[in-house]
Amino acid sequence: MSVIQLCITLVTTAGISFRSVSKIFINLNIYLNLNFGAPTHTTVLNWTKKQGISHFRDNEFYGEVKWVLIADESVQFGNKKLLLVVAVPEHRCNQENALSYKDLTPFVLKVSESWKSEDIALQIRQHISLEQIAYCISDNGRNLTLAFKLLNCKHIIDINHKFSLIIQSVFENNSHFNDYTKALALFRAQKSMSKIARIVSPNQRVMSRFMNLMPLFKWGVKMITLLDNNQLTVEERIALSFLEPHRVFILDTYQLLLRLNNIQQLLKNKGFNDKNAKEALSLFSDMNSDNSLKIRELLTDYFTDLSDKAKEGKTICCSSDIIESCFGRYKEIVKGNKSVGISDLCLCIAAMLGENNLDKTKYTMETIKIKQLKEWKTKNISKTLFAEKRELNKMLNEVIC
């Protein structure tokens, strides 16, 4: 069982491909004179899928305590979307430390061409009594938001996305911000291939750009510091002269973003409660620029909304980072098979979650059959992009023949 557990862990934790796991064991046998059998990549794949299926629970399991649901959907190569909902016991969210994979139970893992709010709500209803749901966490996606509204469940907007909306509302139509970002874009275009490329600013994200502004302003602060300390060449100083009119805006916005990042870390790691909210707002006590005052006001509104949704004296989770991490690790596992589309390899996500020990792995391998893997795939995974291409080629060959 130790070999099986190691193989699964190499895939789900280390991100090693199924074929590479087999090669690792071959080399261990050669260089360390071990007598381990070298499992094929197909065997490792089936072990991982079995581990994933074993982590799903019957409906009765959720009747014991109150649960927090965290939901998101992922788009992969092709036109399919993967809906992932995980469940966390509410009492675990009351603790002041961040969630980990072992705290999660896979709840829904299903593929569809589109996920409408009614479909998401139906999936949740099929697995749990609504009275057992304490609250739900997700981004501000319209379909997820409406699904929770249909279920009459409290919805907590993920703090990353909420902060992004706050920043966007303050800076999107700000003339200083737009002038600065346009100047950076022009600077990158003109100097990225020049002999002063070492000082070129980082690329700005097109999608969700307000979620990651810190690199742009951190770069601006660094360049201003180098200019002030006369540590750049004459040509570099001339090229960066466009920063001077933006100096005050860059320095102020950097401090503002720094405090927002600190607030995020505080609430992600310790959760939201009135005490942590007060500590978070105190980080803005020494800032009085117009932008910082606007953000403080919007943060106060957000915290008031969270406080209304939290039970008195309770700590609630306000971050869906853990589910984003699941998707990120899954995409690393399947990055070499993007053209296949979303397949039952998504069971790797379920395999990452919950407690994994030798006794449980032994029970899983003895009880979960290949037939169950096929049944799960039929029920939860629609036809993959690879299968659709294969059908198309078959039709083409028949026509040609």
Range name among 223-227, 261-265, 361-365 with the lowest pLDDT average: 361-365
Q: Rounded to two decimals, what is the model's pTM?
A: 0.86
Query: Residues 279, 267: contact at Cβ < 8 Å?
Result: no
264 inside domain: yes
358 inside domain: no
Model confidence at 390, in pLDDT bands (50, 70, 90)? low
**Is the same domain home to 167 and 296?**
yes
Model confidence at 354, in pLDDT bands (50, 70, 90)? confident
Dump pLDDT digits (tens) for 283-292.
998 888 999 9
Model confidence at 38, in pLDDT bands (50, 70, 90)? confident
**Is the same domain home to 154 and 170?**
no
DSSP code, position 316:
B
DSSP code, position 71:
E
The pLDDT assigned to 6 comes to 87
**Is the same domain home to 170 and 228?**
yes
**Is the same domain home to 225 and 91?**
no
Over 60: is that where the pLDDT of 363 sits? yes
Q: What is the spatial distance between Cα 127 and Cα 129, in angstroms, rounded to a whole number?
A: 7
315 inside domain: no
**Is the same domain home to 130 and 260?**
no
362 inside domain: no
Over 70: is that where the pLDDT of 73 sits? yes
Query: Residues 211, 234: contact at Cβ < 8 Å?
Result: no
Query: Average pLDDT of 145-170?
Result: 93
What average pLDDT does the structure give for the chain? 87
The pLDDT assigned to 384 comes to 58
364 inside domain: no
Model confidence at 355, in pLDDT bands (50, 70, 90)? confident
**Is the same domain home to 239 and 328?**
no
Q: Which of 326, 348, 339 is nearest to 76 (CA)?
A: 339
The pLDDT assigned to 397 comes to 65
**Is the same domain home to 279 and 326?**
no
Query: Average pLDDT of 323-345?
Result: 78
225 inside domain: yes
The pLDDT assigned to 341 comes to 63
Can you give the residue range of the structural domain that contains 233?
163-309
**Is the same domain home to 123 and 14?**
no
360 inside domain: no
- Segment of 62-66, 132-136, 326-330 carrying the highest mean pLDDT: 132-136
**Is the same domain home to 152 and 171?**
no
Range name among 48-57, 183-192, 242-251, 375-384 with the lowest pLDDT average: 375-384
Q: For residue 110, with 0-12 CB atoms within 10 Å meaning exposed, 13-18 middle and 19 or more buried, which class applies?
A: buried
Model confidence at 144, in pLDDT bands (50, 70, 90)? very high
Query: Average pLDDT of 134-144?
Result: 92
Over 90: is that where the pLDDT of 294 sits? yes
Greater model confidence, 65 or 77: 65
**Is the same domain home to 276 and 192?**
yes
The pLDDT assigned to 396 comes to 59
363 inside domain: no
Dump pLDDT digits (tens) for 101-115.
999 999 999 988 889
Domain count, the chain: 3
The pLDDT assigned to 378 comes to 87
Residues 6+ apart with CB under 8 A from 88: 67, 68, 69, 70, 99, 103, 104, 105, 317
Q: What is the CATH number of the domain that holds 334?
A: 3.30.420
